[in-house]
Amino acid sequence: MRYLTLFLLIGCPSLLFAQQKPYQLFEVDSVAEPRGGQAYFNVFIQTNLRKPIQAEALGIGGRVMLTGVAETDGSVSDIKVLTSLRPDCDREAIRVLSLFKAWKPASKGGKPVRQIVNMPIVFKANEPFTYLNGNRISYFDNADKLITDSTQAAFRQVIPLDTNGLPSNDIVLYRLRSKSWKEERRLPFVREKYESGNKLKQRTYRIGYQDAERLWQGMTFSLTSDGRLLEQTYYEHGRPKGPRITYHPNGLVAEKSDEADTKRMITAWYTTGQIKLVREIDSSAPLGTRNPERLSAYWDSTGNQQVKDGNGLAVFRETVRSYADTTRQTSFIEQGIYQNRLKQGIWTGRYADGSYFYEEIYDKGICQKGKARTIGKDTVQYSVPEQLPEFRGGMPALGQFLSQTLHYPPAAQRAKVQGRVFISFVINKEGEVEDVEVLKGIGFGTDEEAVRVVKASSGRWVPGAQRGQNIKVKYNLPINFSLQ
């Protein structure tokens, strides 16, 4: 009988798929919907949507109406265009919707079922601009005011952009002289090695523009060697400012942060596209101060909202390397109460394999005391969960050390070279300096002198610590050379 049943199924394959036909909206008991709600789904779409450069140049705005099938595993399949905007925008709309894999499936008769969903993807209109032969061209009058009439322009700015809207060469500013455009100045395009901290084990680099002091200016982009976008950050004179976006390896936005007054608002998503959390940090607080983050909302990976309006029991999970066997991975589970957006009471964290544990007591977001135990080691007590490395005596002492130790190279003096040399190094568990590297130099002996001075600071640092245990921390330091 078993073989007969198998033969019937093979001979009539339609029987295998008869129950998989997707239902219409009105045919189900509960409809398919994005986990986390429609509002955060809309935020996901707008955050991940990249308007094609040609459409952006034309200032195109409108919507693409898509249809697809919300599957029982949370994905959406068989996506098609119902109402087109233009082919390149249609393709982008399909790309973004296909990446969202956090649908709560429809149900019928108490069972999850497939359902047809229709979804509008909105492209917001923007100010049009000239895009010609891979260049964005803008015109300005004598007062540096942006104008659209090129016949009235005194300046012409050319920004090379690839088909993805990423910078590809120097920004050049031209000035109109004797009825022809003459180069006035340029902002050099830079591509350099970049350690992003991603887990792809691929070479990564950062592209963007640097000013005369070789400091990042404007939007920068971090990519893998095969062109996958990892991060984009806006800089003003070498300092991160404004929006910042990081990406999951699958291309989805992982985290987006924006500045609002003195606060940095952060929204994060899981790799499925489901909303994860909304939090804020006081960006005006001095580095190293006890500045608690404030969590407004948190969802687990199944879409269950654990923290709402800043209150609730949160359980965080992530995959980490085991302390018992560094070749294996295990789950790190942290949990505790949020009250008025701040950690409150007892918080615990543990590795699922038992190789690590901590317990901390919080009052209004500030850790009062904590203890941690790693397998094979004694329990340690602490009051600050994370401590950054610090030069003994603080920043004033570091400034004094640099001024007393740094010598201006004669070659740099003769060439009147000045500026900043950016040094990267590691402060180990003993407070010693190792792995010194020049990130950005200005030459004429200044790079070597900066390295010498940083190495001379070895042993003068208080090492970084995490839950009572000293750790290695990578540190970046600009060394200033000025003839004044």
Task: Please report whether residue 150 resides in a domain.
Answer: yes
**Residue 51: helix, strand or coil by DSSP?**
coil
Structural domain harbouring 108? 21-123
Task: Please report whether residue 196 resides in a domain.
Answer: no
Task: Please report whether residue 110 resides in a domain.
Answer: yes
Q: Which of 13-17, 370-374, 412-416 has the lowest mean pLDDT?
A: 13-17
Q: Do 115 and 161 fall into the same domain?
A: no
d(CA 425, CA 463): 13
Where does the pLDDT of residue 160 fall: very low under 50, low under 70, confident under 90, or very high at 90 and above?
very high
Q: Is the pLDDT of residue 338 over 60?
A: yes
Q: Do 471 and 421 fall into the same domain?
A: yes
The candidate with the shortest Cα–Cα distance to 126, out of 185, 52, 188, 194, is 52
Per-residue model confidence (pLDDT) at position 12: 46
Task: Please report whether residue 447 resides in a domain.
Answer: yes
Q: What is the mean pLDDT of residues 411-437?
A: 94
Q: What is the mean pLDDT of residues 174-186?
A: 94
Task: Please report whether residue 364 resides in a domain.
Answer: no
Q: Where residue 422 sits, what CATH number does that domain have?
A: 3.30.2420.10
Q: Do 96 and 158 fall into the same domain?
A: no
Last residue of some domain: 138, 159, 187?
187
d(CA 338, CA 353): 26
Q: Is the pLDDT of residue 13 over 90?
A: no
Q: Do 137 and 109 fall into the same domain?
A: no
d(CA 215, CA 440): 9
Q: Which of 18-32, 44-58, 131-145, 284-298 has the lowest mean pLDDT?
A: 284-298
Q: Do 402 and 474 fall into the same domain?
A: yes
Per-residue model confidence (pLDDT) at position 200: 58
Q: Do 104 and 138 fall into the same domain?
A: no
The candidate with the shortest Cα–Cα distance to 67, out of 113, 115, 19, is 115
Tens of pLDDT, residues 52-102: 999 999 999 999 999 999 999 999 999 999 999 999 999 999 999 999 999
Task: Please report whether residue 143 resides in a domain.
Answer: yes
Q: Is the pLDDT of residue 198 over 70?
A: no
Q: Do 428 and 470 fall into the same domain?
A: yes
Q: Do 417 and 473 fall into the same domain?
A: yes
Per-residue model confidence (pLDDT) at position 5: 41
Last residue of some domain: 97, 123, 149?
123
Q: What is the mean pLDDT of residues 136-163?
A: 95
Spell out the residues 6+ positions from residue 309 whose beta carbon is closer than 8 angstroms to its own.
Answer: 296, 297
Q: How many domains does the chain have?
A: 3
Per-residue model confidence (pLDDT) at position 127: 94
Q: How many CB atoms lie within 10 A of CB 189?
A: 16
Q: Do 98 and 46 fall into the same domain?
A: yes
Q: Which two tokens stand for residue 378?
A: 């004694």
Task: Please report whether residue 32 resides in a domain.
Answer: yes
